[in-house]
A and B are shown apart, each in its own frame.
Chain A
Amino acid sequence: MSDNSNGNGGHSLRWLRRAVSVPYLWLLLFFLAPFLIILKISVAEPIVAQPPFTPLLEWGAAGFEGIRVTFSNFAFLFQDGYYGIIYLASLKMAAIGTLFCLLLGYPMAYYIARQPAQRRHLLLLAVILPFWISFLLRVYAWIGLLSNRGLINEFLLGIGLIDRPLPMLYNDFAVYLGIVYSYLPFMILPLYSNLERLNLDLLDAAADLGARRWQAFVDVTLPLSVPGIIGGCLLVFIPAVGEFTIPALLGGADTLMIGRVLWDEFFIARDWPVASAVSVVLLLLLIAPIMWFQRLQSREHEAGR
Chain B
Amino acid sequence: MNEAKPSALVQVREVTKRFDGATAVDNVSLDILRGELFAILGSSGCGKTTLLRMLAGFEQPTSGRILIDGVDMTEVPPYERPVNLMFQSYALFPHMTVEQNVAYGLKKERVPGAQIRERVAEMLALVKLAPLAARKPDKLSGGEKQRVALARALVKRPKLLLLDEPLAALDKKLREHTQFELANLQYQLGTTFVVVTHDQDEAMTLASRIAVMAEGRIAQIGTPAEVYEYPANRYVAGFVGNINLIDGRVSGAANGRLTLRSDALDAELAVACDDPGAVNGEVCVAVRPEKITISRQPPEGADRNVVKGIVRDLGYFGDQSLYRVRTKSGAVVQVSAQNLRRSAKLVVEWDDEVYLSWDVGSTILLRS
Chain A residues within 8 Å of B, Cβ to Cβ: 199, 201-202, 204-212, 215, 219-220, 223-224, 303-305
Q: Which residues of B contact A208 (CB under 8 A)?
A: 56-58, 78-79, 83-85, 153
Do B152 and A199 touch (CB < 8 A)? no
Do A209 and B87 touch (CB < 8 A)? no
Interface of A is mostly: helix
Do B91 and A199 touch (CB < 8 A)? yes
Interchain CB contact (< 8 A) of A205 among B77, B83, B87, B109: B87
Count A-B contacts at CB 8 Å. 64
A-B contact pairs, 30 of them (CB 8 A): A199-B89, A202-B93, A204-B58, A204-B85, A204-B87, A204-B91, A205-B85, A205-B92, A206-B93, A207-B57, A207-B58, A207-B78, A208-B56, A208-B57, A208-B58, A208-B79, A209-B79, A209-B105, A209-B152, A209-B156, A210-B108, A210-B109, A210-B156, A211-B79, A212-B79, A215-B108, A219-B93, A223-B95, A224-B95, A305-B138
Do A209 and B89 touch (CB < 8 A)? no
Q: Which residues of B contact A304 (CB under 8 A)?
A: 138
Complex Cα gap A201–B156 (Å): 19
Chain B residues within 8 Å of A, Cβ to Cβ: 56-58, 77-79, 83-85, 87, 89, 91-95, 104-105, 108-109, 136, 138-139, 152-153, 156
- With both chains docked as a complex, state the minimum distance between the C-beta of A299 and any C-beta of chain B, in angstroms: 12
Complex Cα gap A209–B83 (Å): 9
Q: Which residues of A contact B78 (CB under 8 A)?
A: 204, 207-208
Complex Cα gap A219–B77 (Å): 18
Complex Cα gap A182–B353 (Å): 85
- With both chains docked as a complex, state the minimum distance between the C-beta of A52 and any C-beta of chain B, in angstroms: 54
- With both chains docked as a complex, state the minimum distance between the C-beta of B76 and any C-beta of chain A, in angstroms: 12
Complex Cα gap A303–B57 (Å): 33
Q: Which residues of A contact B87 (CB under 8 A)?
A: 201, 204-205
Query: Lowest 5 CB-CB distances: which A-B pairs, in order?
Result: A210-B108, A209-B105, A205-B91, A201-B91, A207-B78
Complex Cα gap A177–B57 (Å): 44
Complex Cα gap A202–B87 (Å): 9
Do A207 and B94 touch (CB < 8 A)? no
- With both chains docked as a complex, state the minimum distance between the C-beta of A206 and any C-beta of chain B, in angstroms: 7
Complex Cα gap A304–B92 (Å): 14
Interchain CB contact (< 8 A) of B104 among A204, A212, A219, A223: A219
Q: Which residues of A contact B152 (CB under 8 A)?
A: 205, 209
Q: Which residues of A contact B156 (CB under 8 A)?
A: 209-210
Q: Which residues of A contact B136 (CB under 8 A)?
A: 303
Complex Cα gap A206–B105 (Å): 8
Do B89 and A201 touch (CB < 8 A)? yes
